[in-house]
Amino acid sequence: MTDGIYRMAVASGHAHRDTVSLAGQQVRHWLKAQHYEDPGAEDGRHRVGPQAVMDCALKDRVRGAGGAKESVARWRLREFTPQGIWQTSLIISTPQGGPTWVRLDAEQLPVRGTSATKAPVPALARGLLDVISATEGTHTGAARLHGMPTVIERGDVDEVLDELCDPERRMPIVVASTPPRADFEDWLAETVDPLLRGCAGLAVLYALSPGAERDFNRALEHHRVYGGAVRTYLPGLDPAWAPEAQRHRVMGRHTLDTDLRRAAGLLAWLPRRLAVQSPLPDALTGLPPLRARGLRDNAQSAAEIDEVQPGSLLVDHHEEEAHEERARAEELQEVRRWLRDAEERESQLAAEYDEQYSELREARTQVRSLRGRLAEAGRADELETTTVPGGTRDDPVSFAELVDRMDEFPRLAFTGDPRLARELDDQTDHPTWVRMAWDALLALEDYAAAAVHGASGGDFRRWCENTPAECHVFPPRKVIRDESRTVRTNGKWKGERELPVPVDVSPTGKVFMGAHLRIGGGGTAPRLHYHDDCSGTGRIYIGYIGLHLHNTRTN
């Protein structure tokens, strides 16, 4: 599992030798802050604390892919604890004639039978970003990275827009807006800085000043951020395509105000995942491992390093092993590229589906209006075979409003947590999710009205496949009759789907709601879970509206 790994991979604005020198200074400052000894500048394995060792290989030159030479410097700190080994690795690699790349990894190697703890952002990461003039790529116009968010003033908007739309961008860009009437400096210090601290080195971080907000949002009509919300802009942004906006998640101010620490963790989750799963620059892959003569490299205690002398560390240059190491790295890189391309394709298809759904819905609304006008003229028979009606002008504009209007559906009962539904408003400002959820409620209400009289012709999926002309429609392919066997037999996942109902439906007050509706496109889009009790109490109980619950894809 890679959930707990922190990984930063950035380009340095300095040459290899200068980057190594600057990084060495930061490593020494970092060790001193943790009350560890200075390992010095000599290659080898050094005892820097009672339960900590530092490996250094600073004057290394290795053979990369295709026989090219690379200058590489490496540090690796291992801290031995009863829970496992905390390992922090820093690599600086410069292919011959190429740019200098910096990679910093931090992770816990847990004791057998336990799960790894998530690694926090190392203080070393912020120290490096402050001195190496880091950028997220090596191409012209690549965005700069800093340890703390950079303020976007009005004169900076065009440059930031170029970064957002850069087709070669590798990293997310996170932009925090300012609430109305808030003191900007206080908002930065008390909210934005602690909120974005967990994204240092993983994303380009910006705070949008009030004076720049209008120009920024005017240029990004479909991808706006305002009112104290924070938006994560993924690579590949298309500012002219409205359906694509849902890829770029929005976190609303309500989430920040409710629990800032939790909000910081939620915000950092996606940049952390992308940093680990995305392909690395070639200069940072396939490097031979660090090893020491006469010592198992998988030592479980600092006591095992007592006999190792400075200078005994070596980089394994055995040609056969080095070739295998490069082959494994290239294979992993290829898997990362496949994963990235598949996720991008899924996002594109989801956006295309939502665009088509919105167009279809608009057409249904026009047909409904036309039917009404013709009915007034006594000519409704001309449209007897016309497509069924769609939405109305008073559709809700947010999930918060949708939840508040559930009492408009007498045959539906919402028994879930309204907070989880309202939090969907923090994930995107694209209205398709709200529209589709509202369409689902309209269709469920029509189905329930028929089902209580035995006139539905089957379950809700069958109803959607054969919806009467006078009723609201919902795409049948988005109706899932039950969860997979894997989900039903997993205790944790099954428990998430055991949702509240009245005791006259189930004496335990809960039932397993495997039946659900997919709201929006994509495999991890929101879900609406429900229990059909039309044959009993005459109602449908909606136990959950929110982000996709855990399964084999989302866990």
pLDDT tens per residue across span 1-33: 466 899 999 999 999 999 999 999 999 999 999
Q: How far is 348 from 433, CA to CA, in rounded Å?
A: 16
Query: What's the pLDDT at 155?
Result: 95
Q: Are 264 and 195 in contact (CB under 8 A)?
A: yes
- Among residues 224, 99, 89, 237, which one has the least CA distance to residue 164? 237
Token pair 């080994």 is found at 85
Structure confidence at residue 323 (pLDDT): 54
Strands (E), 146-222: 150-152, 173-176, 204-208
Residue in this structure with the two tokens 């039946």, named with its chain if needed = 515
Angstrom distance (rounded) from CA 241 to CA 244: 6
Instruction: Give me the pLDDT at residue 113, please.
Output: 80
Query: Which residue intervals of 452-502 are DSSP H helices?
Result: 460-465, 485-489, 491-496
Q: What is the pTM of this model?
A: 0.69
CA angle (476 as vertex; 470, 480 as ends), nearest 5: 135
* pLDDT of the residue at 482: 92
Residues 322-375: pLDDT tens digits?
A: 555 556 666 666 676 676 676 666 666 666 666 566 666 666 666 656 656 666
The Cα 467–Cα 266 span in angstroms is 40
pLDDT at 367: 64
What value does the CA radius of gyration of the chain take, rounded to a whole number of Å?
28
**SS3 label, residue 325:** helix
Residue 485: what pLDDT?
Answer: 86
Which pLDDT value is given to residue 168? 93
Alpha-carbon distance of 398 to 270, in angstroms, equals 23
- In the numeric block, the tokens 């066997």 are attached to 485
Question: Which pLDDT score is estimated for 303?
Answer: 56
78-116: pLDDT as tens digits = 999 998 999 999 999 999 889 999 999 999 988 888 888
Alpha carbon distances (Å) from 76 to 43, 124, 284, 290, 379: 12, 12, 15, 9, 80
Q: Find the distance separating the first CA and the last CA of the chain, reported in whole Å.
A: 11
Closest CA to 554 of 471, 477, 496, 500: 496
Listed in sequence order, the residues at least 6 apart from 543 whose beta carbon sits closer than 8 Å to its beta carbon are 415, 416, 499, 500, 501, 511, 513, 529, 530, 531
Question: Rounded to whole angstroms, how far apart are CA atoms 388 and 469?
Answer: 5
Say what the pLDDT of residue 390 is.
Answer: 45
pLDDT tens for the chain, 555 residues long, are: 466 899 999 999 999 999 999 999 999 999 999 999 998 877 888 899 999 999 998 876 665 555 567 899 999 999 999 989 999 999 999 998 899 999 999 999 888 888 889 999 999 999 999 999 999 999 999 999 999 999 999 999 999 999 999 999 999 999 999 999 999 999 999 999 999 999 999 999 999 999 999 999 999 988 999 999 999 999 989 888 877 787 888 888 888 998 999 999 989 999 999 999 888 888 888 777 666 544 455 555 555 554 344 444 444 444 445 555 556 666 666 676 676 676 666 666 666 666 566 666 666 666 656 656 666 676 545 544 444 444 444 788 889 899 999 999 999 999 999 999 988 887 665 567 888 899 999 999 999 999 999 999 999 999 998 888 788 888 888 899 999 888 888 889 999 999 999 999 999 999 999 999 988 765 557 899 999 999 999 999 999 999 888 775 554
For position 255, what pLDDT does the model report?
A: 86
Residues 6 or more apart whose CB falls under 8 angstroms from that of 352 comprise 243, 521
